[in-house]
Structure 1
Amino acid sequence: MTIHTVWRVAIASAVLAAAIDAACAQVTPDTDDILVTGRSLEETLPQERARYGSDLAIVTEEQVKESGAVDVATALSAMPGLYVQPANGPFSYVDVSLQGSRTQDVLWTIDGIRINNRLYGGTSPNDTLPASMIERVEVLRGGESLFYGTQAAAGVINVITRGFSDRLGGQVDASVDSFGGTALSGYVRGGAGGHQFVAWGSYNRSAGYQPFSRMEPSATDRARGYDLWCAGGKYRYDLGPEWQVNLQYIHTEAKLDNLAVTRTRESRNDRNEETASARLDYVGSDAVQLFLKGYYHDWSTAYVQIRNRIGGGAPEVVYPAGTFWGFKDYGGSALAQLRLHRGLEYLIGYDFQQFNGRDDVLLIGATNERVHAGTFQVRTTDDLSRRARASAGLRYNDGSGSRKTVWNVTGRFDVNDGLYLQANGGTSFLLPSASQLYQIDPCCERGNPNLRPEESLSVNVGVGGSIAEGRVTWQATAFARRIDRLISISHDDPAYPDGIYSNSDARVNVRGAEAQLGAVLGAAWHLDASYTYVQARNRGSDVQRDRTPEQLARGSVAWRPTTLPVGANASVNWVGDAFSTASGFGRRNYGDYALVDAGLHLFPDAERRHRFDLSVENVLNRAYATRGFQSAVPDSGGARFLYFARGVPRTLRVSYGATF
């Protein structure tokens, strides 16, 4: 830890401690924060999509706390139907499968700001935002390209940060874990006279664990660690009863190890990331609502890789410190909701996105992309029916040398207060990534600038409801998706012996179903269970596509008594068969494992302003692969060996939080 880091932690601790003392002196123990809920058309869009038949699932703040998560991916372990695994522990790249999707089929956003984009589809907020800043996570499952565009072919994961409050208050958190991990974070929020603000900061550091099942002696850096700090804030101002201004900014700096099984002496991504947005909302009329928004996302990485020479000698500098890869993503959007007459309302929108990036690591040439899109949707209102709601819309996308029109229809029918039917169907598109288009690295597959976008048609149909006065909830969903012109690596062209990206002639079909059940027993017991089955196969094949689990199941129980100063929770996540292909070893199953997590919570004061948590991740210390099997040549130069990226070993984490 550098002297600058020590000072940062010391100063942050002093400021947060002073804030706690000052706030606790002014706030009476029995006074709760009054949260200001969002009224913006953008903020309520996922909930409105759910009212009209889209499949929305939410991870709550309490679930995030009980998980003991330090990053976004671990916080999402409670999400039904979602496979999400960090490649090498906290704050690393993630593998995602949502209802049988690939990672790049899912759009990630933070408070509506897109994180992955047209050029880099695999980025996520997992190394951008700590879990302590999450208010909740909303996941729209199924094709959502109508309002969210490319990258939303299988769904949208929207991470929502701490909300506004009318009262001055906040929280401070600190934790340590059994792998030398430390975390310190806090936020403060308040408001007066039409102004509201939220400000937060965090610092996370760990030496990490050995990231691979096998490492050769030539690899001298053998633990994947991270050193990350993040600061951000939000500001809202009411310009009277009808207009609001919202500003947001997040800055992240991180040093993230990026190791290999052989020869690694030093390999690291030094990240510098900025996200910002400004939004103007008109919220005062039932007849007209709108928002205008601009956003900016700058992702800059200075990469370094130094390898040991087998047999000794001076280290080999593969990429000198400061080797660049990154992108800028900025643009604007506008959406208006018009209720001009009884029975119907209309949403009319426009999106503009500008991307530019360069990668001196994978040798992707500098490129720029510009996209314009227009959206139109019509939907019924409660004037027409309070039980039946329907919507239909079109999106026209113009950019990257291609023009695409997608459509979406949804519907929901509330049979009675305890039973509903819902459906969401439409088309989506996925534009090629930067590496797929422009990669020019001589060691690997080549990019193909002539690639065409993937197109898909998806349908989600569900039935659900509640019984026992809402204490038991359930939902069953069937989903299907077909993908045309899927982009994959072809080895058929002799001019490219390492392969070239191409559009596949074979259609890919995804079929599946999932079931969810939740129950509240008595005043304290909360039970949740879910099961998902997926077939993702090329047309005419009976083989599951690589890195797509066939089955997922989850069960959790939480004990949350309000009259006792304790609580507890436990969960089991089971991953069914999942396959990957490793050079020289063929196709191997890396799934069929279960992970058990548990937590204990203590509230030493009657007002529950202080909280101690003891959590254990991977209680049974199960060795499991996060991204499938791979192969490498050993130091001896003999036959290739098989290895896998290890998931998090058993980890004990102790944390303390104080609310003021």
Structure 2
Amino acid sequence: MSSFSQQCAGAASSLAAHAASVAVGLTALAAATVHAANLDDVVVSATRSEQRLADVVADITVVDRDQLDQQAGRSLEDVMAKLPGVQITRNGGPGSDTSLYLRGASKQHTAVYIDGIRVDGQNGSGGAQWESLPVDLIDRIEVLRGAAGAVYGSDALAGVVQIFTKRGEDGVHPFIGVGAGTYGSSKGEAGLSGAHGAVDYALGVSYATSKGFDSKTNGVHNEDRDGYTRKSANARVGLQLSKVHRLDLTALTSKSDAGYDATKSIQDDRAIREFDAYGLTWAAQWTEGYRTRLSVSESTNRYQTTGTSLYEAETRLRTLLLQNEWKLGQGTLSLALERREDALENTGLKNTNRKERDQTGIAVGYGAKYGNHTVQLNARSDDDSDFGRKNTGGIGYGWDFAPQWRATASASTGFRVPSLYQRFSAYGDSTLAPEESLNKEIGLRWAQQGNHLGITLYHNKLKNLVSYQKGLGSCGMPSCYVNVDRALLQGITIAGAYRTGMLKWYGSVDFQNPKNEETGKLLERRSRRFATLGVDAAVQGWTLGAEMQAASRRYNGKDDKVMTLAGYTLFNLSASRQIARDFTLTARVDNLMDKDYTLAQDYATPGRTFWVGLKWMPH
């Protein structure tokens, strides 16, 4: 294998022209993500320990509640699609089957957590069910890009998404929100949070519905409107037992019922998804330099279809995590023990409708800042009940070589064991090998008084990828899951924000080349180039926004000669204003030019849409 510098040089050479055009575009904006919070903010995703964002070596993006409020009327996956390094594909409108690609990797290669609770599915290829997660109940999102197996164990080949719900603060803080928009869409939300004495709490409920539109654009199908409903609720309660001991309880539940059109079906096909997550955490600050965190959690994903075909699947994931942290001079040493248990009940499994597996891991990490230099070291060993021991590691370095400037370099590994469905369904193979990744990246970041610009060059090699292939495998079916693919995910991400007077410019541009190294083809439904560029302005009490989202063409299948999905450019407008002491009005127009575009072959996307919302939140 060539050295890191040689690989980065090769990747830089192949993408140089793209990077140059990106730099010109951002310079024209007079700056360069609004999605990254203040560098003094504290994040946990990089190491599972609290760090100032300014000290993090990894490539990370933060979205806070204020930014989520500006996206009123959008789904969580639509919010994610605006972030650096993220693309989505969806079989129809919101509520339908959704995949999220982080740096060009498949959705199962991104580990997802809600308040520290692991979210995953063992059905199909696996991965989080993004279409089930309610954006209305979310307070903050952290997106970590790059392999993180040495911190999180299995699944984090491409990165990690940490989702946090609201935590109660002093006083009593109720809120009620309503909204309505195109396609008969509407939603309502309400919540109450606060703190009194040793107890803090945050409760919320949300209901969203839409009549939708006909999700299919071609072939024989049920020509109805494929709408959806989603009901969600959450609770987060904290109890400060003493100065050094604290308990936190988290619960979230969501159920959606969405229409979809099966191939050559004229029936009303429905996809019903139920998601539950529960977690209990005990934290103890034994001394000024030593603390412990113990958490137990369980998440459940249920998926059921009705209509043309009857199908049921349920994934249950239980985790136990014990993390210890010691302050040692300029650094922090961490030692974690983690136990994970997965179970799948599925009508398509061989021999029995239930399969289980478990993993037990031990992880050690050390991070320190010595003057202008930052180091981060991590190592982890996981013992899987089916595949034995898997070892991962990571090393990162940051150098503050000038005021407001930082250079970073890192290398890390990750792995994912095949899903239970990939191994034990009628289309599976129990001898499949785990997928593995080796990620290397370098970055340059400038930040000053809320303005910032970051450039990251990454090179991630994946091997033993599990693919659903026609005519291959030993399952005896026309298509089987097999280890056939090797992929190379390389690219450049440039993102930043800059304020000039009453204007705040923001943007991110990605130039990537996620390809199958076996065939040399671009991975399906990924663009080589995509971007979000926008500006917010404060005008006479209004916050006005204009935004452009663009993506180059993609290929719908594994063979790039099958179907080309054309590139697209969308324009969006937004406005918000406090119309009374405790009332805020928001309005959006998405896809202003009514662009006809496609994310998946034969599936429709929304045209021009309008949204108006009103939120009451006493100050």
TM-score by length of 1: 0.82
1:428 aligns with 2:420: no
Larger radius of gyration: 1
Amino acid in the other structure paired with 1:177 = G
8 Å CA contact 1:136–1:159 kept in 2: the answer is yes
Q: 1:409 is matched with which residue: 391, 395, 413?
A: 395
Q: 1:581 is matched with which residue: 557, 577, 581?
A: 557
8 Å CA contact 1:87–1:95 kept in 2: the answer is no
Q: 2:590 is matched with which residue: 617, 622, 643?
A: 617
8 Å CA contact 2:155–2:416 kept in 1: the answer is yes
1:349 aligns with 2:336: yes
Residue in 2 that maps onto 1:192 = 196
The 1:137/1:52 distance shift into structure 2, 3 A limit, reads closer
Greater relative CO, 1 or 2 (CA 8 Å, sep 6+): 2
Residue in 2 that maps onto 1:546 = 524
Where do 1:507-522 residues align within 5 Å?
Answer: 507-522=486-501
Where do 1:371-390 residues align within 5 Å?
Answer: 371-380=359-368, 382=369, 385-390=370-375
Identity between Structure 1 and Structure 2 (%): 17
User: What's the offset of the Cα at 1:427?
Assistant: 0.9
User: What's the offset of the Cα at 1:575?
Assistant: 0.9
1:201 aligns with 2:205: yes
For 2:474 and 2:290, how far apart are their aligned partners in 1? Answer: 59
SS at match of 1:621: coil
Amino acid in the other structure paired with 1:388 = H
User: What's the offset of the Cα at 1:398?
Assistant: 0.9
For 2:233 and 2:536, how far apart are their aligned partners in 1? Answer: 32
For 2:252 and 2:489, how far apart are their aligned partners in 1? Answer: 37
Summarize deviations over 1:471-492 as a string: whole Å, max 9, x none. Answer: 5311111000111212123424
8 Å CA contact 1:171–1:186 kept in 2: the answer is yes
Summarize deviations over 1:589-636 as a string: whole Å, max 9, x none. Answer: 21411122111223212x4x2111121121122222223x2xxxxxxx
1:212 aligns with 2:212: no
User: What's the offset of the Cα at 1:275?
Assistant: 0.8
8 Å CA contact 1:52–1:410 kept in 2: the answer is no
User: What's the offset of the Cα at 1:204?
Assistant: 0.9
Residue in 2 that maps onto 1:180 = 184
1:331 aligns with 2:319: yes
Summarize deviations over 1:251-295 as a string: whole Å, max 9, x none. Answer: 222222232252231222333332100000124643102210000
Residue in 1 that maps onto 2:575 = 600
Residue in 1 that maps onto 2:467 = 488
Residue in 1 that maps onto 2:443 = 462
SS at match of 1:64: helix
Q: CA RMSD in A?
A: 2.5
Residue in 1 that maps onto 2:430 = 449
1:80 aligns with 2:84: yes
User: What's the offset of the Cα at 1:545?
Assistant: 2.1
Residue in 1 that maps onto 2:12 = none
8 Å CA contact 1:431–1:454 kept in 2: the answer is yes
The 1:540/1:368 distance shift into structure 2, 3 A limit, reads closer
The 1:302/1:203 distance shift into structure 2, 3 A limit, reads same
1:648 aligns with 2:606: yes
Summarize deviations over 1:363-420 as a string: whole Å, max 9, x none. Answer: 784211111111011222x4xx132111212111111422100001112122233101
Q: 1:156 is matched with which residue: 160, 165, 168?
A: 160
Residue in 2 that maps onto 1:281 = 283
User: What's the offset of the Cα at 1:541?
Assistant: 5.1
The 1:454/1:42 distance shift into structure 2, 3 A limit, reads closer
8 Å CA contact 2:107–2:127 kept in 1: the answer is no
SS at match of 2:422: helix
1:498 aligns with 2:478: yes
Amino acid in the other structure paired with 2:572 = D
Summarize deviations over 1:524-558 as a string: whole Å, max 9, x none. Answer: 31111211111122337543222222111110111
Q: 1:146 is matched with which residue: 136, 141, 150?
A: 150
8 Å CA contact 1:595–1:622 kept in 2: the answer is yes
Q: Greater CA deviation, 648-657 or 62-71?
A: 62-71
For 1:123 and 1:331, how far apart are their aligned partners in 2? Answer: 16
8 Å CA contact 2:292–2:325 kept in 1: the answer is yes
For 2:286 and 2:48, how far apart are their aligned partners in 1? Answer: 15
For 1:59 and 1:89, how far apart are their aligned partners in 2? Answer: 23
Q: Unmatched 5+ residue regions in structure 2?
A: 1-40
User: What's the offset of the Cα at 1:71?
Assistant: 2.1
Q: Greater CA deviation, 200-209 or 483-492?
A: 483-492
SS at match of 1:401: coil
The 1:393/1:613 distance shift into structure 2, 3 A limit, reads same
1:105 aligns with 2:109: yes
8 Å CA contact 2:45–2:144 kept in 1: the answer is no
User: What's the offset of the Cα at 1:298?
Assistant: 1.9
User: What's the offset of the Cα at 1:361?
Assistant: 5.8
Amino acid in the other structure paired with 1:455 = E
For 1:558 and 1:415, how far apart are their aligned partners in 2? Answer: 32
The 1:122/1:596 distance shift into structure 2, 3 A limit, reads farther
Amino acid in the other structure paired with 1:614 = A
SS at match of 1:437: helix
Q: Greater CA deviation, 86-95 or 41-50?
A: 41-50
For 1:275 and 1:293, how far apart are their aligned partners in 2? Answer: 13
SS at match of 2:184: coil
8 Å CA contact 1:232–1:250 kept in 2: the answer is yes
For 2:398 and 2:338, how far apart are their aligned partners in 1? Answer: 27
